[in-house]
Amino acid sequence: MLKGLRARILAIIAVVTCLTAGVTGIAVTVVVRDWVYQDAQDAVLTAFRHDMQSFEGRPMRPVPGSGGQEWATPSESLGLPSDYAVEVDGRTVQAGTVRPQDIPAQMRAELERVPSLYRFQRLSGGRVLVAHSMNRPNAVDADTLVVYSVQPLDDVQQRLDRLTLVVLVAVGGSALLGILVALVVARIVIRPLSRIQSVAARVTDGDPEARLPGTTVTELRDLTQTFNSMLDRQNESIDVLRRQDERSRRFVGDVSHELRSPLAALVPAAEVLREEAAALEPGHDLRRASELVAAEVDTLAGLVDDLLEMTRLDAGAAEVRSEPFELVGALREALTARGWRSVELDGAPLTVESDRRRVVAVVTNLVGNAIRHGAPPVAVTVGTAPGEVVVEVRDAGPGVPEGDAERVFGRFAKGQEARSRGGGGGAGLGLAIARDNARLLGGEVDYRRDGATTVFRLRLAR
């Protein structure tokens, strides 16, 4: 999910923003929570101090008949709220609502020991225990009086709930703001990359004028200059290679055309030599020389034809003349014309619409390759597949070495000795021209090994 740079930027900024807002919110909550409790405690302590100041101005005396164990003000009352607990010298004078277990022993001992002391202790349930010790100089036999009170911390929970809501809203708002900032940052960061991708796509499509626009950002300016310089050098290299390729094609074409004139005279002369040599005795030196010259002239004529065809294909000047024709009959005529009577042709009559000359040239190139580099029997099979016409050329040769299945379709690629019969045959252009012609017709030529059989296959759209 985070493979894209945009997604990573969004995730990182959003996570950092949320973490920062969360940590800040927690810190603020802790601090403000203490303030809320402190404020509530101060309010309780202030009210308690006021009551204690009013109480300290009243005299106490023993209640008659109590034996000095009960004490009262002149109005027979302590003058304190009924929920206050009062202890005199450790004896409870007024129980109030304070539970003895709520009073820590350490607090009680400290209050009884030190007069005029205020103490408070936070209790569970949002309550606070406040206490005050005092000496009543006008009290009879009274050393120390301690007053305890348990008061609720008013409105603390409601204030804390409001604080939590505010913190949650702040964290959520910070996260949303972080996402918006991340979107803006991602757009700023991704935009130059998108431009580079767009320019690279134009370069891939062959646009030599594609360049990155200038920018004022230092890092992007350096990248833009480097990228544009790379494209300039690439175009220079491509221009050099294009000119070299044009010169090579022109040289091949010129040489081929120049060779056609002498070949036009050599081919008939080779035929005459071949006919005259047939009348000589086998093994005669003149007969062997004549047959050799005739064979080499035929080879040279085929090479010139291949070079001319290759030049036309490279120049884009090859014409495709599509018309309906019967494929099996056309192949049988071509095989017979070349004297390949030993090649088996199998297939039912099949009418296709394509360039007859080029289809026949592809198949005869494949057959010639099988005869020169394979082993008999050589067979041609014509069939169909869904939406395709398939012509397979099979031979019993050792096939193409492993890893060379595509190399054999390169120009001037020659078979190894293991697949060469007698070491002769061709300049290595036959399969390359066959594939180029097949692709020109919208088809393909490929190679596979079927058991002990080598198969070159032509596939054409029906």
Tell me what pLDDT residue 345 has.
92
Tell me what pLDDT residue 393 has.
93
pLDDT tens-digit readout, 12-24: 887 888 788 888 8
- Region 187-203: what's the mean pLDDT? 79
Higher-confidence residue of 311 and 46: namely 46
Query: Comparing 64-68, 71-75, 301-305, 426-430, which segment has the lowest mean pLDDT?
Result: 71-75
β-pairing, 71-72 with 85-88? unpaired
Q: Kindly report the three-state secondary structure assignment for every residue of the chain.
A: CCCCHHHHHHHHHHHHHHHHHHHHHHHHHHHHHHHHHHHHHHHHHHHHHHHHHHHHCCCCEECCCCCCCCEECCCCCCCCCCCCEEEECCEEEECCCCCHHHCCHHHHHHHHHCCCEEEEEEECCCEEEEEEEECCCCCCCCCCEEEEEEEECCCHHHHHHHHHHHHHHHHHHHHHHHHHHHHHHHHHHHHHHHHHHHHHHHHHCCCCCCCCCCCCCHHHHHHHHHHHHHHHHHHHHHHHHHHHHHHHHHHHHHHHHHHHHHHHHHHHHHHHHHHHHHCCCCCCHHHHHHHHHHHHHHHHHHHHHHHHHHHHHHHCCCCCCCEEEEHHHHHHHHHHHCCCCCCEEECCCCEEEECHHHHHHHHHHHHHHHHHHCCCCCEEEEEEECCEEEEEEEECCCCCCCCCCCHHHCCCCCCCHHHCCCCCCCCCCHHHHHHHHHHHCCCEEEEEEECCEEEEEEEEEC
Tell me what pLDDT residue 58 has.
60
Query: Comparing 79-88, 149-158, 415-424, which segment has the lowest mean pLDDT?
Result: 415-424
Task: Flag whether the pTM goes above 0.75.
Answer: no
Residue 451 pLDDT grade (very low, low, confident, very high; cuts 50, 70, 90): confident
d(CA 425, CA 448): 22
d(CA 254, CA 38): 103
- Residues 338, 343, 349, CA angle at the centre, nearest 5°? 90
- Region 120-143: what's the mean pLDDT? 70
Query: Is the separation of the CB atoms in 371 and 340 below 8 Å?
Result: yes
Tell me what pLDDT residue 161 has.
81
Tell me what pLDDT residue 253 has.
67
Tell me what pLDDT residue 395 has.
92
DSSP bridge partners of 122: 128
Residue 326 pLDDT grade (very low, low, confident, very high; cuts 50, 70, 90): very high
Higher-confidence residue of 260 and 181: namely 181
pLDDT tens-digit readout, 162-172: 888 888 888 78
Tell me what pLDDT residue 76 has.
42
* Residue located via tokens 């061709």: 426
Q: What is the mean pLDDT of the chain?
A: 77
Q: How much of the chain, in percent, has pLDDT values that exceed 70?
A: 80
pLDDT at 131 > cutoff 90: no
pLDDT at 421 > cutoff 50: no
- Residue 190 CB-density burial (10 A; 0-12 exposed, 13-18 middle, 19+ buried): middle
- Region 301-308: what's the mean pLDDT? 66
Tell me what pLDDT residue 390 has.
92
Query: Comparing 88-102, 232-246, 256-270, 346-360, which segment has the lowest mean pLDDT?
Result: 256-270
pLDDT at 304 > cutoff 70: no
- Region 63-78: what's the mean pLDDT? 48
- Region 78-98: what's the mean pLDDT? 76
- Tokens, residue 83: 């929920």
Tell me what pLDDT residue 379 has.
93
Tell me what pLDDT residue 394 has.
92
Closest CA to 415 of 456, 387, 458: 456
pLDDT at 75 > cutoff 60: no
DSSP bridge partners of 146: 87, 133
Where is mean pLDDT largest: 158-172, 285-299, 330-344? 330-344
d(CA 349, CA 47): 116
Tell me what pLDDT residue 417 has.
41
pLDDT at 406 > cutoff 60: yes
Residue 424 pLDDT grade (very low, low, confident, very high; cuts 50, 70, 90): very low
Higher-confidence residue of 137 and 326: namely 326
Query: Comparing 6-15, 232-241, 390-399, which segment has the lowest mean pLDDT?
Result: 6-15
Tell me what pLDDT residue 418 has.
36
Q: How much of the chain, in percent, has pLDDT values that exceed 90?
A: 7
Residue 378 pLDDT grade (very low, low, confident, very high; cuts 50, 70, 90): very high
- Region 387-413: what's the mean pLDDT? 81
Tell me what pLDDT residue 441 has.
85
Query: Comparing 58-62, 150-154, 257-261, which segment has the lowest mean pLDDT?
Result: 58-62
